[in-house]
Chain A
Amino acid sequence: MVDSAAAATTVRARLAAKARANPSVALGGVCLLLVLVTGSIEPEYLSLNGARSSLLQAAPLGILAGAQTILMLTGGIDLSVTMIATGSAYVAASQSSHGAAVAILMGVAVGLVVGAANGIGVAVFRVNPLIMTLAMSGIMLGTFTAWTQTILRGSTVVAPFIKELAAGSFLGNRLPYSVVVWAAISLILIWLLRRTGWGRLLYAVGDNETAVRLAGVRTWQVRIAAYIAAGILGSIAGILLAGRTGAVDLQLANAFLLPSVAAAVIGGTSIFGGVGGYTGTILGALILSVLNSMLTFLNVGQDIQQLVYGTIVLALAWGYAGLANRE
């Protein structure tokens, strides 16, 4: 008895040590477990179709969570990222008549401008990021509500190319284009964070801004670039979302705000800055999206779904914090 208990403890200790050494593997394990649980509830899910629908859901979430990851590394956050997504989608839809390329560029321009404004507010005027981006979100909601009656009146239907990009697939309907877009963005983000000076500085600014400033870096430049990058990611996510639903409205991306932060946190990025990365965030987005499918298949009321969702997110974040602290 004693021996088996001791053996169990050492196994657990060894597992914990492994998980600490390689947190992405631990997260991947959690993700796989959730897939299997979902599959046991609804065997249909363990098919190409199931994987396809989970990935389709995860793509815009993963891109928005990428925006949060970049900012959280610097100790910031963007509460306006979903409004940027919605606004970009609106602009892209209203410009549909000029062709897909113009529509997409105009949409991305929204993210660029709003991101730059957020960045200037936070980095130059030293507004708290929560306040800055929350206010920006309100300003955008008001502006777009007014504009939908005036200059953006007209098409709320997106161009066919965007629909195809967001909802279409190739390789015999197996691989969605939007997942390819996400994969490309993921590679770029991982490269930026790991292999570039700017990525290095994001971590450094989040860790100790004074040390970076005294090293001769103009830290406001790093921050503004981060908010612009986040804005552009928000725009891309918004355009993909609009393409999936086919039409835009002012609630388009609302539901993604807190999940975008949650995905980054579950993936191990600290909201206090300096610690984290995008690989974890990808897994965080996948976990949340599988969790969503699971809850849908559970066939219970909305109230229970929310309750389970909240509890699991809390458990994951807590588990991760535990892992990080035990070092």
Chain B
Amino acid sequence: MNRPSPLLTITGVAKAYGSVVALEAVDMTVRHHEIHALLGANGAGKSTLVRILAGVHPADRGTLVVAGKTANFRTPVEAMRGGIATVFQDPALIRDLTIAQNLRLSQTNPDTFAQWLDEFDLGSLDRDRMVRNLPLDILRLVDLARALALNPKILLLDEITAALTADQAEKLFELLDRLKSDGCSVVLITHRLAEVMRICDTATILRDGRNVAELEVGGITQQELVHAMLGSPVDLAPDTPAGIATPTTADAEAVFAVEELASGETVRQVSFAVRRGEVLGLVALEGQGQERVFDILCGERRPSSGRILIDGSPCRFLSPADAVRQGVVLIPGDRLQALLPSLPVYQNLVVTLITRIRQWLGLPADERARAANAIDSLSIDTRAAAQVRRLSGGNQQKVAIGRWLVSGFRTLLCFDPTRGIDIQTKGEIYALLRKLAADGAAVLLYTSELAEIPLVCDRVLVMHNGLIVDEQVAARATEASLLTAAHGLV
């Protein structure tokens, strides 16, 4: 058969940032009419490759050929003219301008933009709204519509589904299928293998800055994809068996409880208790009030009514400092909120030891040792330890968790701790949460990945429209049962 020449050919692309080699040498081919997954563990070099294709950073070596023309882009504008449109992990929109102003700035045709936006039933979105006042899922769709309005030959999507709701993702997949038949190829970066299996034709797998495999998705299983990414088989389930609430947990005392918590219209009534030694899961579709619940529990916001109980006695948190002093600590959904990006790993880890004024005139004598302990027990990769901003996402998340291992805590609030994290680190985080619970902590885990619930949790609560609508035994919870409840269909 006479196959047409590929749409995009990448040959020997390499990139180093200072002494850190992000890409050793990558070859990749994207054909016409193809949805191509780009997969790899965190730090494998996916984001770097995206930046090179989008013209944000030039490659050090290697060549790009788009539709037969050599295209070593030096600026994002060159990449767009070359037919590549990119939707980055963080929306490329200016926060203090309106949507309309952002469109004018990027010289986007407003009519084409509106057509694409309407694909997601957002045609009525007010263009005069400030970007900073819009939720992340809308912004990603705005960014997507803007990219599509360029009428690209190749669409690059970096972790786009992470911020989308299930039905938005569904619409996106249908749209991508149509684009494919219209002749636009898509490069999709994702950690969700189910998506890859469902919509992608081909997958290129990166590991340590090299492409290690190109697979036809049709003929393989998820497990095989995982093997290709890791280079070795991995057991996702943590060592401590989860799922079955162990007898000690079932009648252990409630360490942390909330009673009839409410906050405006967003959180209407939420009550639950987390017991000692338990991992309590929380599941909800986007925007059901879960963010607000976590804001209240960690002391960032005060509830309009309801009580927080610690060991049975009511507490008021006026700030995160109050919560931390009661042993209630947060791993925020946006890990940048937990990191000091310019400071070294060990200073990030020990900042929890100097929170009180009486700890200000000096430093704990054992801080280095305690930091080293946390680094060891989390196996944080410290090759780029001088500045946390240089760590990979998974390692950054470990630092965010590690600062609480250093100080100790009684109740751990985790908001989607595995979002955008490679599969191996995910496994490590599951095992860690189980171990912390086994050591006597109470853990509340919100997650957007339903498959995590039976792996990690004892019980799971489902939240819908500001209410807890269901409770299930985690071991028996399935994605189907959780999703049904999350849609309020109980």
A residues sitting closer than 8 Å to B (CB atoms) are 195-198, 200-201, 203-204, 207-208, 210-218, 221, 225, 274-275, 327
Is A275 touching B342 in the complex (CB atoms < 8 A)? Answer: yes
Question: Which residues of chain A have C-beta atoms less than 8 A from B320's C-beta?
Answer: 213-216
Say yes or no: is B424 at the interface (Cβ < 8 Å to chain A): no
Choice from B332, B347, B362 contacting A214 with Cβ under 8 Å: B332
Chain A residues within 8 Å of B325, by CB: 216
Contact A197 B340 (CB under 8 A): no
User: B18–A327 contact, CB under 8 A?
Assistant: yes
Q: Is the CB of A207 within 8 A of B343?
A: yes
Establish whether residues B341 and A197, one from each chain, have CB atoms under 8 Å apart when the complex forms: no
For the complex formed, measure the closest distance between the CB of B371 and the CB atoms of chain A, giving whole angstroms: 13
Cα-based distance from A198 to B357 in the complex (angstroms): 8
**Given A198-B354, A203-B340, 8 other A-B residues pairs in contact with their CB atoms under 8 A:** A196-B363, A197-B353, A210-B337, A214-B298, A214-B338, A215-B338, A215-B351, A216-B321
A196, A201, A213: which contacts B362 (Cβ < 8 A)? A196
Q: How distant is B168 from chain A, measured CB to nearest CB, in Å?
A: 28
Most chain-B Cβ atoms within 10 A of its Cβ — which of A197, A213, A217? A197
A212→B319 contact, CB < 8 A: no
Which residues of B from 91 to 116 have beta carbons under 8 Å from A? Answer: none
Q: Is the CB of A218 within 8 A of B343?
A: no
* Cα of A204 to Cα of B351 in the assembled complex, Å: 8
Q: A207 and B340: CB pair below 8 A?
A: yes
Complex partner residue of A208 from B18, B329, B339, CB under 8 angstroms: B339
- CB B368 to nearest CB in A, in angstroms, measures 13
**A-B residue pair count with CB separations less than 8 angstroms:** 88
Which of B300, B339, B347, B352 contacts A216, CB < 8 Å?
A: B352
Residues from chain A with Cβ under 8 Å of B332 in the complex: 214
B351 touches A217 (CB 8 A): yes
**B1 contacts the other chain (Cβ, under 8 Å)?**
no
In the complex, whether B166 has a CB less than 8 A from a CB of chain A is no
CB distance from A214 to the nearest CB of B (A): 5
B361 within 8 A of A: yes
Interface residue B315 (Cβ < 8 Å from any Cβ of A): no
- Bound complex: CA of A216 vs CA of B324, how far in Å? 5
> Are the C-beta atoms of A196 and B361 separated by less than 8 Å?
yes
Q: Tell me whether A214 and B354 are in contact (CB under 8 A).
A: no
Is B379 interfacial (CB-CB < 8 Å)? Answer: no
A25, chain B: closest CB distance, angstroms: 19
Instruction: For the complex, give the distance between the alpha carbons of A30 and B230 in Å.
Output: 51
CB nearest to B352 among chain A residues = A215
**Partner among A196, A208, A213, A327 whose Cβ is within 8 Å of the Cβ of B319:** A213
A197 in contact with B362 given A214-B298, A215-B403, A218-B321 (CB within 8 Å): yes
A210 CB contacts on chain B under 8 angstroms = 337
Choice from A212, A218, A221 contacting B351 with Cβ under 8 Å? A212
Give Cα A185–Cα B273 distance, bound, in whole angstroms. Answer: 53
The answer to whether B360 and A196 have CB atoms under 8 Å apart is yes
Contact of B354 among A200, A208, A274 (CB under 8 A): A200
**Would B324 and A211 count as touching, CB distance under 8 A?**
no
Whole-angstrom distance between the Cβ of A215 and the nearest chain B Cβ: 5
Q: Is the CB of A211 within 8 A of B340?
A: yes
Given A208-B336, A218-B319, A198 and B352 contact (CB-CB distance below 8 Å):
no
Give the complex CA separation of A120 and B255 in angstroms: 37
A195 B321 Cβ-Cβ under 8 A: no
Is B361's CB under 8 angstroms from A198's CB? yes
Say yes or no: A211 contacts B360, CB within 8 Å.
no
Asked whether A208 lies within 8 Å of B363 as measured between CB atoms, the reply is no
Question: A268: shortest Cβ distance to chain B, in Å?
Answer: 13
8 smallest beta-carbon distances between A and B, as pairs = A216-B324, A197-B354, A198-B360, A216-B355, A207-B340, A197-B360, A217-B355, A210-B337
Do B351 and A200 touch across chains, with their CB atoms under 8 A apart? yes
Query: Complex: how many Å from CA A195 to CA B360?
Result: 10
Query: Within the complex, what minimum Cβ distance (angstroms) separates B350 from chain A?
Result: 8
